[in-house]
């Protein structure tokens, strides 16, 4: 089976340089995919063509989401926002959803995935969620296993990892709140913060608040998640190829 092309979103730093963590590239390459960086553009046809050329979408983490994206004003604890990134990535998501390609959305990506389905989010969990929270924005290395999560039985995430509890890394201060239409919660932290969402249907579509790309080489649940994503992308490509062949055969007969 062909190695699937995985589109990896990137960010623009304050100095204007295009940036994507090497972890994403390595994880995709090591687990059987072909990484392709997606650069932000405002040209709709260019965005559509970017998505047409990939077999799976890896929506990466990074800066905070602009609250105007979900019709809110900025919270005092809002961090750096990259101008235009949310609009671009929502358009990428729109085309990816239209093509029904597998989607793995990480951290801010999980929040955008929820927003495009009509969900809401916290701009700052520490000041907006009542009660005592554990530390979610860890001060350790990105591959440190910061805290545990509870995975709901019967979810696709549970099917993939085969565990109902494991530890993850955590580098966020924003998180999903109300979950959008067609999505369900598949994992939570001990304090109730949502750590994973997924599609209600058979589509491979996950939003993770943690970063498996920083853990996959030593952490079995993270490896299984990314491997399953790449496998789903390969299967989608194969299925699309079969549909094209069938259409060609039909045209020849006509």
Active-site residue (options: 117, 147, 211, 219): 211
Query: Is 172 one of the catalytic residues?
Result: no
- Residue 166: strand pairing partners: 149
173 backbone dihedrals φ, ψ, rounded to 5°? -125, -5
Query: Is 173 one of the catalytic residues?
Result: no
Active-site residue (options: 147, 213, 219, 236): 213
- Residue 205: strand pairing partners: 103
- CA–CA dist 54, 34 (Å, integer): 9
Handedness of CA 202, 204, 209, 211 (dihedral sign): positive
Active-site residue (options: 11, 89, 107, 117): 107
Query: Is 211 one of the catalytic residues?
Result: yes
Question: Are 59 and 89 spatial neighbours (Cβ–Cβ below 8 Å)?
Answer: yes
Neighbours of 181 (CB within 10 A): 8
For residue 102, give both structure tokens: 């597998």
Cα(first)–Cα(last) distance of the chain, in Å? 30
Residues with active-site annotation: 107, 211, 213
């Amino acid at each position: 089976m062909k190695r699937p092309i995985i589109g990896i979103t990137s960010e623009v730093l304050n100095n204007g340089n295009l940036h994507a963590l090497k972890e994403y590239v390595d994880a995709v390459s090591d687990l059987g995919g072909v990484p392709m960086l997606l650069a932000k553009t405002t040209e709709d046809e260019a965005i559509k063509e970017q998505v047409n050329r990939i077999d799976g979408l890896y929506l990466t983490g990074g800066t905070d989401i602009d609250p105007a994206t979900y019709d809110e004003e900025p919270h005092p604890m809002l961090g750096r926002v990259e101008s235009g990134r949310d609009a671009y990535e929502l358009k990428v998501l729109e085309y990816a959803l239209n093509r029904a390609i597998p989607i793995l959305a990480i951290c801010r990506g999980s929040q955008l995935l929820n927003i495009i389905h009509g969900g809401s989010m916290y701009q700052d969990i520490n000041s907006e969620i009542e009660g005592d929270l554990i530390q979610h924005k860890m001060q350790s290395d990105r591959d440190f296993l910061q805290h545990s999560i509870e995975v709901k039985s019967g979810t696709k995430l549970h099917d993939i990892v085969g565990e109902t509890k494991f530890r993850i890394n955590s580098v966020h201060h924003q998180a999903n709140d109300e979950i959008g239409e067609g999505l369900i919660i598949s994992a939570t932290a001990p304090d109730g913060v949502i750590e994973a969402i997924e599609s209600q249907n058979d589509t491979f579509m996950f939003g993770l608040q943690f970063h498996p790309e920083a853990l996959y080489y030593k952490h079995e649940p993270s490896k299984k998640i990314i491997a399953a994503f790449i496998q789903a992308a390969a299967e989608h490509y194969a299925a699309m190829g079969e549909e094209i062949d069938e259409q060609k055969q039909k045209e020849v007969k006509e």
